[in-house]
Structure 1
Amino acid sequence: MSLADRHIPDRLTGRGAQLLRSWETLLLLVAVGIFVLNSFASPYFLNAWNLSDATFNFTEKAMIAFAMALLIISGEIDLSVASIIALASTAMGLAMQWGAGTSELVLIGLLVGLLCGAFNAVFVTVLGLPSIVVTIGTMSLFRGISYIILGDGAFRGYPPSFAYFGQGYVFWVISFELVLFALLALLYGVVLHKTNFGRAIFAIGNNPTAAMFSGIRVQRIKFILFLLTGLMSGVAAVCLTSRLGSTRPSIATGMELEVVTMVVLGGVNILGGSGSIPGVVIAACVMGLVTFGLGLLNVPGIVMSIFIGLLLIGVIALPRLWRLWSQRRKT
């Protein structure tokens, strides 16, 4: 039983009632509750510019989470996404040292992300290795290459125009990253829920053998999903490097945990087969509000890491606990 299938126990019936009892609705209520608590916890929270800054806590991670959601629904996972960001950022830093302009830097970041995704895809879809094992290996490989190139150093001095992707605003307090996040959410929502490609992803996650005998090219679709995850890591690398204005080999350390937590909290079954993009969008906002609120209260970063870890364990264990409780109530 997935989080997406869980309902609040009551006697409501009908399609509208099912919507009211869905996991996404409950998650939205949690988001509203956290927003209200944050507004009381800190007098600076409701400032428009502070709220705009809060979006930077989740937009870059959510861009990867959209592609990760599709990958996990298909029954696979990629734990190397944060290391892909580090390698793509390092490649952009090298290119910047050689005189590359803004457009070339963006292209290099996206291309490195795509190549890393293809590297993972070959081992999983062609050689048939478990994705969790492959991506744990490439997680160390990609970041290790960054450390070999940079050591304890850093790349600085990116072109002023490059800063727009991570620091620019489209209108008033609406940042470029927030607009990109919204467009990607819409795109991935349509792809997953309104196209044959999305239906094939669900079919593969539920039963890859049956999907294959139904004429679905399982390995090809999984290859594409790894490419998308790598590409989104490249997009996040461009935005994050632009926002920080520098590259270090430790960039985005631990982000893979937050991305996976975001996906699972959004209702995607960690075992594959079910999930939704709206749930991931709401989960991204919840995590962004929580981390920003804790930051305003000067809560140490290690406490936030503990919270993320507990949250991941909780949302994975919750379906099992719910099923046990339901069985006990029936008996």
Structure 2
Amino acid sequence: MEKIMHKPMATTGLPAIGWSRRLLSWEFFLLLMTAVVFGLNSLASPYFLDPWNLSDATFNFVEKAVVALPLAMLIICREIDLSVASIIALASAAMGFAAQAGAGTELIVLAGLGVGLLCGLVNGLLVTRFEIPSIVVTIGTMSLFRGLTYILLGDTVLKDYPESFAYLGQGYVYWVFSFEFVLFGVLALLFYGLLHRTNFGRRTYAIGNNPTAAFYSGINVARHRLILFVLVGLVSGLASVLLTSRLGSTRPTIALGWELSIITMVVLGGVSIMGGAGTILGVVIAVFLMGLVTFGLGLLNVPGIVMSIIIGAMLIGVIATPVLLKKFKGRKSAP
């Protein structure tokens, strides 16, 4: 299968490259766009450059960004998970019932992580054991997990969380740096190392480029994909912990529609939707770019529906641009 490359540089091991090629990379383009959006936001609103306002802006995207990290690896491996937002909702429901039963913060967090891991395991087993396409499986589990959340909660809103639980989504480590933001930074470094500095990451790229060749070279493709699905589910559970803590409540509509935003972060970051290409650095830059765009629009009182349109347009544009460029080059080189 022919893959769409979002940038001219190789991504399988981040080899040493010259500055000229770095300046032509997708990451550099994203960094440039982030600087432009930052400048426009600072001119558009006098409140934008306030450190506490910028800190508050991170709360709007950190939980999504956390899920984007393992999802990027899954997409590089030529799979996808559309159920991440529903996993967040179901994990939040589990934490809500645990809190109602009198559980402490540690048990509540374990409940959220455990449900997320279990949901990821269900997705992974359905894909690897029954060889059902992941897009079909996760569309089904997206409805299944969200439906279970509605059945469990109905119209109920669960709020009886212990005070110590609030720190995970509302607390600050130092000055304007929230616990959520610092945790995202740590996870970004860990996933960068996992993808770009380990054999596991090299196997991820190998499977994404050619799963058949990877299999015959001795890679256990099914097990590798299962691990990635479980990892996505586990981190979705972690995102649920952060989001539920920040909101201080659980309701069936929590994280509704987040799939689009998370996938947009990944694809905007240069991860090929066809697999085999992409970097964690690109995803991290794309996270900040999207965060600045939505925060700037919010300061200008732009309605949420308009933001959704912009995010959808960004997703279509990023996917369509390489295809159009490839067709244009093909026509130009044709006799």
Give the Cα separation in 1 of the matches to 2:62 and 2:6: 23
Q: Does 1:80 align with 2:78?
A: no
Bigger mean CA offset, 172-181 vs 152-161: 152-161
* 1:322 equivalent among 317, 321, 325: 325
The size of the alignment, in residue pairs, is 325
1:157 corresponds to which letter in structure 2?
D
Deviation at 1:194, TM superposition (A): 0.7
Alignment of 1:1-331 (within 5 A): 1-5=4-8, 15-331=18-334
Bigger mean CA offset, 85-94 vs 316-325: 316-325
Give the Cα separation in 2 of the matches to 1:251 and 1:47: 29
Report Cα offsets for 1:152-203 as digits up to 9, x if no partner.
1210121111011110000000000111110110000011011110000000
Contact 1:75/1:271 (8 A) holds in 2:
yes
Secondary structure of 2:273 counterpart: coil
Deviation at 1:150, TM superposition (A): 1.0
Contact 2:74/2:225 (8 A) holds in 1:
yes
Contact 1:150/1:248 (8 A) holds in 2:
yes
Contact 2:209/2:276 (8 A) holds in 1:
yes
Secondary structure of 2:173 counterpart: strand
Give the Cα separation in 2 of the matches to 1:254 and 1:99: 31
Give the Cα separation in 2 of the matches to 1:159 and 1:290: 34
Deviation at 1:324, TM superposition (A): 1.9
Give the Cα separation in 2 of the matches to 1:254 and 1:165: 23
Give the Cα separation in 1 of the matches to 2:269 and 2:138: 22
Give the Cα separation in 2 of the matches to 1:250 and 1:3: 34
Contact 1:113/1:234 (8 A) holds in 2:
yes
Give the Cα separation in 2 of the matches to 1:309 and 1:16: 33
Give the Cα separation in 2 of the matches to 1:17 and 1:169: 40
Deviation at 1:4, TM superposition (A): 3.1
Normalising by structure 2, report the TM-score. Answer: 0.95
Give the Cα separation in 2 of the matches to 1:39 and 1:6: 32
Indicate the RMSD between aligned Cα atoms, in angstroms: 1.2
Give 1:10's aligned residue: none
Deviation at 1:6, TM superposition (A): 7.4
Report Cα offsets for 1:292-320 as digits up to 9, x if no partner.
11111111111111111111111110110
2:84 corresponds to which letter in structure 1?
V
Give the Cα separation in 2 of the matches to 1:34 and 1:158: 38
Secondary structure of 2:144 counterpart: helix
Contact 2:154/2:252 (8 A) holds in 1:
yes
Deviation at 1:109, TM superposition (A): 0.4
Give the Cα separation in 2 of the matches to 1:149 and 1:286: 36
Give the Cα separation in 2 of the matches to 1:68 and 1:5: 22
Contact 2:90/2:149 (8 A) holds in 1:
yes
Give the Cα separation in 1 of the matches to 2:9 and 2:141: 34
Deviation at 1:58, TM superposition (A): 1.7
Give the Cα separation in 2 of the matches to 1:35 and 1:218: 42
Secondary structure of 1:5 counterpart: coil
Report Cα offsets for 1:124-145 as digits up to 9, x if no partner.
0111111000000000000101
Contact 1:4/1:268 (8 A) holds in 2:
no
Deviation at 1:266, TM superposition (A): 0.2
1:134 corresponds to which letter in structure 2?
V
Give 2:14's aligned residue: none
